[in-house]
Every structure is written in structure tokens, then in C-alpha cells.
Chain A
Amino acid sequence: MTPLNGKIRLLVGAAVALLLQLILAPNIHIFYAAPNFVLCFTIAVAVCNPRGRGYLMPFLLGLMYDFMNTGTVGAMAFTCVAITFISSLVIRVFDNEEKLLVLFVIIISVFLAELIYGLLMIACGTHVSFADALLHVVLPCGLYDTVLTLLIYPLVMRFVLKQKEQTEMTIIDSPLD
């Protein structure tokens, strides 16, 4: 896979995540829980490719999500960048990409991202209490997104970051950064 190919795959993956968020997400709410394909894709890429250090794609994806919704502009962009940094850092620190660690990092990252976004929304003036946010959004959405990320992860690994070592180079050298 050439570096250009890797970049295109990543961009196509990001575009698919955005389309799913726009078209599919509004129709698959489960009670209070709404899926966040953008966040799931961002975390899956960060976990699959912890040495990538590509922050522009998560930022742009998050920003697009913010524009698509009525929340505070920049909140999801910040969340995506922060969670990319944290999740890839954890895997790099442990220097271990075993399935159990990956699973653990995905679960923690999703809930942490939902929490960060929730805190940002409250800080920016959304009229809800922290307990309400935790009960009605952070926990149900975290659970939903965890399942989605675990489903997306092998797809990202297989189709987006087809040959991992080469893609790491691609993302490190990516002009998107």
C-alpha cells in the first residue's frame, strides 16, 4: 500500500463515518442513547495506529460533527483530539497491542470522551445537571459507542489501515498534520 493509498483509505473511512452520523445515527437511537460514529472511528483509528500522531483528521471530523449538530462548536473537535492523544498515549506507554489492552483502552476512551464532551456542554451553558448528563447521556451513549467501536475496530484495522506498519509511516508523514 503506497502512502497516498493509505491517506485515501483514511479519508474515505472518515467520510463514511460522517455519512453514517448524518444519515444513520438519527434513526438508530435506543432510548436516550445516540450513536456517535465520528467518535467511534476516531478512537478506532487511534487505537489501531497509536504511533500515528495524526491530530488533524480527528479535529476536522469533530468540527464537522459540531457543525452538523446544534452543540457548542469546537467541543467535539476538542474531544476527538484529546481522546486520540490519550488513547494512543496509553497504548504507546504500555508498548503493547494485545487484544485485552486494546479492549480496555477502547472502553475507557469511549466513556472518557463522552464525559469530556458532556462536561464541555455543561460548561458551555447546556441547562442540565451533571447527574442528569451522566445518567441520560454519558453512560447510555458510552455503552452504545463502546459496542460500535468494538465493531468498527476490526474494520478499520482491515480496510482503513490495511498494512499497519506502512500506514504508521503514512500518518506520521501525513501532510494532513
Chain B
Amino acid sequence: MLHSIQNTISAIGNPARTVGTAGGAAIDMGGQAVGDMTANEGTLSQLRNQNKELTEMLTQAEEYRLEVQRLQDLLKLKDTYKLEGVSGRVIGHSSDAWSQTITLDIGTSDGVQSGLTVMGPSGVIGQVIRVTGGSSTVRLLTDPNSGVAAMIQSSRAEGIVRGSLAGLLYLENISANTAVSVGDVVLTSGLGGSFTRGLLIGTVVRVDGQTGDDNRTIVVSQNETPRSLEEVIVVLSAATSDNGSTQ
């Protein structure tokens, strides 16, 4: 009973409190306006500098926020696939038109070795091809010299995903009798041991030709846009489930 009365009175008093708060704010603003009008050049200059500093701090804080978000995505990926890996920052891109590579700021001192799989937040992006003490070069899947043993998740049909100069991925060596349709998920098959098995590569976005046609062209859209990545994971090991996929 007492609580009800208390709540009712409190509810009635809330608009008044709001008006009071607004009034207080108006008074504060008025005071501030008077202060601003009477401010001298020195104060204004100081405020401008302060404003500049605050803008810089805000920009930096936003950068940190975005970085934390990206790193959280990578951590989520590590949990999803039960990966053991080391994360690195992208510090460079290839400078010629014939290759598509990125350079990472991690090397042998961080446990990175040539041949290891590299992942972005939502899929495989390439393989380490060159390592030094503090840096490593990753050949992206889209590089024309890249070739990944892959399989279609639904049919388990195996083939090879190759890069091209145009930056597209082609799924080749798939049996002509295997039905492939747009939307099929493509994973690494682990065949040959060069890439960790069961990691997501992308989805089929175009199939030129019919089932039974030996010259079918299957285009795969990569799950990642490596060019825009800032942090990646070099996979040191992955837990593999009984059916072969890393889930």
C-alpha cells in the first residue's frame, strides 16, 4: 500500500523533475553562452586545441573499437573451428600484377612456418609461402599460382580451387557427373596436406555448363575479401571431427 502511494507520487513528480532538469540545463547553457561571449582569444584558442585533441582521441578510440571487433571475430573463428593459431597484422600487399600476396608482421619467432593455412574472420584466404624471423608472405587463394584441394560440402565431390589473374576462383577437376549448383559451399579437403581440412573457402556463384559436360566452368566466390583484411590467423593446428570436417 505504502509502495503504491510512493510510486504514484513519484510518477506524478517525474514530469516536474524533467522540467526541472531541462530548466537547469537551460540555465547552464545560458551561463555557458554568457561565458562564451565574454571569452577572450586565449580561451578560444585553448578550447580549439582541446577540441582538436578530443577529436584525435575519439578517432583513436574508434580505431581501437574496430580493431577489438575484428579480433573478436577472429577469436570467434578460432572457437568455432577449434583452431590453434597465431594472429598477425597485414603490413603489405604485392606490388606486381602477376601475384596476389600479403605480408604479415609475424614470422618464425611466432611459430609461423612455410605451408601453413591462413584464415580471415570467415574463411581461408591463403597459405604462407615465405617466412623470416619477424614477417611472413602469404599467397592468397586468388593468386594465379595458387591451388587448393577442395570439396563441395553437400556432395563431398573433390576438386581444386584455383586463382586467376582476374581475381576469381575457379573450381576445377570436379567429376563431370557431379551435380554442382549455385550456393553450394566449398571447403578445403585437406588432400595433399597443404591446407587444413574442412575450412570454409566460399560458395559457388556461377556454373557455366551442364552436368556431364567436361568443360564446365565453376566460379567460387570467396568468403573473404583479402584486400581489405587487417588481421588474420595463421593456423598452426585444427581439431578434426570424425567426418573429416573441422567443426
Interface residues, chain A, CB within 8 Å of chain B?
21-22, 25-27, 29, 32-34, 36, 65, 68-71, 117-118, 121, 125-128, 132-133, 136-137, 140-141
Q: Once the chains bind, are A128 and B144 in contact (CB under 8 Å)?
A: yes
CA distance A65 to B145 in the complex (A): 18
Cβ–Cβ contact A133 & B96, under 8 A: no
On whether A127 and B95 interact (CB within 8 A), knowing A70-B129, A70-B139, the answer reads: no
B77 CB → nearest A CB, Å: 26
Q: Are B93 and A26 in contact (CB under 8 A)?
A: yes
Given contacts A32-B165, A70-B101, A136-B166, 11 further A-B contacts (CB under 8 A): A26-B93, A26-B95, A69-B98, A70-B129, A70-B137, A71-B98, A71-B99, A121-B98, A127-B147, A132-B166, A137-B165
Please provide the chain B residues from 84 to 113 with a CB less than 8 Å away from any CB of chain A in the complex: 92-99, 101
B95–A137 CB distance below 8 A: no
Inter-chain CA distance A26–B101, complex, in Å, is: 10
Q: Could you tell me which B residues sit within 8 Å of A by CB distance?
A: 92-99, 101, 129-130, 137, 139, 143-145, 147, 162, 164-166
What are 15 A-B contacts defined by CB distance under 8 Å? A21-B95, A26-B95, A34-B95, A36-B96, A68-B95, A70-B99, A70-B129, A70-B130, A70-B139, A121-B98, A127-B144, A127-B145, A132-B166, A136-B166, A140-B97
Quick one: which of A25, A36, A65, A126 contacts B144, CB cutoff 8 A? A126
A132–B165 CB distance below 8 A: yes
Query: B95: nearest residue on chain A (CB-CB)?
Result: A25
Chain A residues positioned under 8 Å from B144 (CB to CB) = 126-128
Determine the chain A residues whose CB is within 8 A of the CB of B101 once the complex forms.
70
Contacts across chains A and B counted by CB atoms under 8 Å: 63
If over half of B's interface residues share one DSSP class (helix, strand or loop), that class is named, otherwise mixed; here it is loop
The majority secondary structure among interface residues of chain A is helix
User: Do A32 and B97 have beta carbons less than 8 Å apart?
Assistant: yes
- A27 surroundings in chain B (CB, below 8 A): 93
How distant is B94 from chain A, measured CB to nearest CB, in Å?
A: 6
- Collect the chain A residues with CB atoms within 8 Å of residue B98's CB: 69, 71, 117-118, 121, 126, 137
Pick from B95, B130, B143, B147: contact of A22, CB below 8 A: B95
Q: Which residues of A contact B130 (CB under 8 A)?
A: 70
- Measured CB to CB, the closest approach of chain A to B21, in angstroms, equals 51
Residues of A close to B147: CB separation below 8 A: 127
Residues of A near B143 (CB, < 8 A) are 70
Please name the residue on chain B nearest to A28 by beta carbon.
Answer: B95
Name the contact of B94 in the complex, choosing from A26, A33, A126 (C-beta under 8 A).
A26
Enumerate chain A residues within 8 angstroms of B129, measured Cβ to Cβ: 70
Residues of B within 8 Å of A22, CB to CB, are 95
Contacts of B99 in A (CB 8 A): 69-71
